[in-house]
Chains A and B, each alone.
Chain A
Amino acid sequence: GQNIDQPTEMTATEGAIVQINCTYQTSGFNGLFWYQQHAGEAPTFLSYNVLDGLEEKGRFSSFLSRSKGYSYLLLKELQMKDSASYLCAVSKAAGNKLTFGGGTRVLVKP
């Protein structure tokens, strides 16, 4: 089976940095995804990691350590529009179903 854990909620200040951690235990691994979901909307793709290390994409970066079953999503220079839920998901095989964590709700305050 698969078990994916992430914090339920985080609060940060506009302009600051927030790091959302995700730990996973899976019977197979083909990559880890991060999605952003604003309230009442569909999840949208943010990042994908399959090899260890850091992937940077503008203000957002994602890190993976396969040996530790650990990933984090780093949001820099927070903006009010970054207030959303951030979903960590793991794939066992290419194109296969993603198993999602419960999501981390990030609230950005002025």
Chain B
Amino acid sequence: GAGVSQSPSNKVTEKGKDVELRCDPISGHTALYWYRQRLGQGLEFLIYFQGNSAPDKSGLPSDRFSAERTGESVSTLTIQRTQQEDSAVYLCASSALTGNYGYTFGSGTRLTVV
């Protein structure tokens, strides 16, 4: 597609429920990244996928968080047993790994745990 697409744009869930967030990267972009942004704060790295290499999961805050990506296509970020501290905007970005223009970000999913 023309840009990075994320869904849903907003999600309100009850504490303890599982949620799944989706990211559709720009076609041909081999690298995909998930970040979390709490209100008024900077971006916190979660996980990075590059082609068929093992993902860099070093930013995942707990084992309640997991992510998958099939090939160079869609990725899903799953949060199990959500907690109020998980409330944030979850941003996905993709990169072609060529040139030096950083990433293209999606508009994010605003997650609210009540």
B102 contacts across to A, CB distance below 8 A: 33, 35, 45, 48, 89, 91, 98
Residue of A nearest to B50 (CB): A95
- Measured CB to CB, the closest approach of chain B to A86, in angstroms, equals 11
Instruction: Tell me whether A99 and B95 are in contact (CB under 8 A).
Output: no
B33 at the interface (CB under 8 A from A): yes
B41 at the interface (CB under 8 A from A): yes
In the bound complex, how far is the Cα of B30 from the Cα of A41, in angstroms? 24
- Measured CB to CB, the closest approach of chain B to A41, in angstroms, equals 7
Binary contact readout A43-61 vs B (1 if CB under 8 angstroms, 0 otherwise): 1110010100000000000
Chain A CB within 10 Å, residue with most, of B41, B95, B103, B107: B103
In the bound complex, how far is the Cα of B102 from the Cα of A98, in angstroms? 8
Residue of B nearest to A34 (CB): B102
Instruction: Tell me whether A96 and B91 are in contact (CB under 8 A).
Output: no
A68 contacts across to B, CB distance below 8 A: none
Contact residues, A20-74 vs B (CB, 8 A): 31, 33, 35, 41-45, 48, 50
Instruction: Tell me whether B106 and A42 are in contact (CB under 8 A).
Output: yes
Residue of A nearest to B35 (CB): A100
B43 at the interface (CB under 8 A from A): yes
A43 contacts across to B, CB distance below 8 A: 43, 91, 105
A91 contacts across to B, CB distance below 8 A: 102
Binary contact readout B33-46 vs A (1 if CB under 8 angstroms, 0 otherwise): 10100000111110
A94 contacts across to B, CB distance below 8 A: 97, 100
Which 8 A-B pairs have CB atoms at the shortest separation, nearest pair first?
A95-B97, A42-B105, A102-B42, A100-B43, A100-B42, A33-B102, A97-B48, A48-B100
Chain A interfacial positions (CB closer than 8 Å to B): 31, 33, 35, 41-45, 48, 50, 87, 89, 91, 94-103
The contact sample of 16 A-B pairs, CB cut-off 8 A, is A42-B91, A43-B43, A45-B101, A45-B103, A48-B100, A89-B102, A91-B102, A96-B48, A98-B33, A98-B103, A100-B35, A100-B43, A100-B45, A101-B42, A102-B42, A103-B41
